[in-house]
Structure 1
């Protein structure tokens, strides 16, 4: 629902309206407005690049490589991730549709040997990466209350996923992310394969598909920081390419500042790059359906860290159909 009065639909009207909400109790509505109305393109791009950060942690990248989900079926895995997250964002944690999406995520994760540390790190990328992207390229930066609401939204998601010891503030999420990357970023051939597959997928999204593949790759690598490129063994692009790429995004932000305020939500399911379900989908049909023993993280099966624990009360929920 777009609740901005017509008479105040100026470029900063939504920021001012959100300032009247409480980030401790209204975090879902604040984050929903940010992701669907205020910064939909920016947040989607930031979360897409957040994927690469998770690959650079070998315990995560190796697992994704072993399952083959981000190599053989990368389009579907990308779509499923966005659609499941969007169901929670659109409908909320207590609605039938949101609960169905959380149940699907939890049952999917239960089939893999994922440590709580890795789960917390991935959650931190959802909080920190969009904040940093908007600081660098957004038409405005997030306010302190908006950052607080973003962190509280993902804290609630983490609670529903049964993740213990989730950071309390966006600053604590930032500290966790930076420390985890400093300790765990390193090269792994499986991680690199998954990153290459994702990079190839991003090159097919409009309007990227109109540009030569080497140009798209160079642009993407320009937006990665040096520790990430080093962990994935990606060459740094020429300095001029990196500068021009980042300037182009900052210029876009300045242009967006003068565009009319969005009055209709921008939904992930409507993006041209989402192509797995032309006939519609059900939330309970999204994702993977692993069977048997949990898939281990180590490439040789030697990683014996405990499987991520799920509480039985987090597995309930309903179903929904999106057409």
Structure 2
């Protein structure tokens, strides 16, 4: 064997070993029961395999819901999403992340769901709107990961994510939850086609959210108008029309979407797999609780004491330090 051939063989083996390491977690996920333990699949995907991508996807999922006037206008009327945008972002991440990190049946998971349900109970929200929000949690991460991450999701992983959010929906007492991803996708598209429309209040909530995005890294390194244009370039025409946002140019779409695809390719070829989970409470975007937080004190409350009965009863699992 020549020196050149030997070098080529070593290089090929190195690539194979790197790819095997890169795809190791996918193999582990394939061994998890997507029906009995979907939370474990959701946890690995969100905290180790695609932590940045899943965060972006879920943020974008919530952003889409503003384009339904009955949702966007309610959020505007609470004033929380326009006047306390960072806190609303933090609280949403932390409450939704609690069952992902600890499981639905843990004290922290129950506390997170209980707080979400208490907030929703203060308002007259239709089951259809709740189901639509749930459908965005199912569909948007799959679409984002498959479009921009370093690999696409397997059918097994999609089933696991779907079942995780079906379980979330049941804990939130949502009715008529779809059984499969395909059914969620059909509901999602049909609901947007029927309900997306312009509302000045919804637009105000969307603009406040885009302003918050501009404070996160790496976006804060760019001028705010550039961040907005790049955000528009990632939106589909249906969403742009609902908010009355300008349609981006072909060049803007290519730059924004191509940049995300290039990031995914670079991760697949060069990055080492994450060996430790990155939970929502550990992300740099969550900035409002430098001294820690208690799940039962997050979110909004009816007028009066923000802690039920004036006493905090959170367990150690429900309390975290930053």
Q: TM-score, normalising length from structure 1?
A: 0.88
Secondary structure of 2:156's partner? helix
Aligned-pair CA distance for 1:238: 2.1
Aligned-pair CA distance for 1:318: 5.6
CA–CA distance in structure 2, aligned partners of residues 277 and 190 of structure 1: 28
CA–CA distance in structure 1, aligned partners of residues 284 and 38 of structure 2: 29
CA–CA distance in structure 2, aligned partners of residues 220 and 64 of structure 1: 21
Bigger RCO (CA 8 Å, 6+ sep): 1
CA–CA distance in structure 2, aligned partners of residues 208 and 185 of structure 1: 27
Report whether the alignment pairs 1:281 with 2:279.
no
Aligned-pair CA distance for 1:322: 0.7
Aligned-pair CA distance for 1:274: 1.3
Aligned-pair CA distance for 1:237: 2.0
Aligned-pair CA distance for 1:272: 1.9
CA–CA distance in structure 2, aligned partners of residues 50 and 23 of structure 1: 23
Larger Rg: 2
Match in the other structure for 1:108: 119
Report whether the alignment pairs 1:82 with 2:93.
yes
Match in the other structure for 1:321: 319
Match in the other structure for 2:6: none
Secondary structure of 1:204's partner? coil
CA–CA distance in structure 1, aligned partners of residues 284 and 27 of structure 2: 31
Identify which of 79, 95, 99 aligns with 2:106.
Answer: 95
Contact 1:18 1:30 in 2 (8 A): yes
Match in the other structure for 1:234: 245
Aligned-pair CA distance for 1:291: 4.3
Structure 2 gaps of 5+ residues are 1-17, 305-312
Match in the other structure for 2:197: 186
Match in the other structure for 1:254: 265
CA–CA distance in structure 1, aligned partners of residues 182 and 19 of structure 2: 32
Match in the other structure for 1:121: 132
Identify which of 74, 80, 84 aligns with 1:63.
Answer: 74
CA–CA distance in structure 2, aligned partners of residues 260 and 278 of structure 1: 29
Identify which of 154, 168, 193 aligns with 1:157.
Answer: 168
- Aligned residue pairs, count: 293
CA–CA distance in structure 2, aligned partners of residues 262 and 9 of structure 1: 14
Secondary structure of 1:257's partner? helix
CA–CA distance in structure 2, aligned partners of residues 185 and 291 of structure 1: 32
Between 1:176-185 and 1:13-22, the stretch displaced more is: 13-22
Deviations 1:235-291 (A, max 9, x none): 112221111110000000101112111101112222222111111100001000024
Deviations 1:129-174 (A, max 9, x none): 0000111111111100100010100000011111011111111110
Contact 1:99 1:318 in 2 (8 A): no
Contact 2:294 2:314 in 1 (8 A): no
Secondary structure of 2:300's partner? coil
Q: TM-score, normalising length from structure 2?
A: 0.88
Structure 1 gaps of 5+ residues are 1-6, 293-316
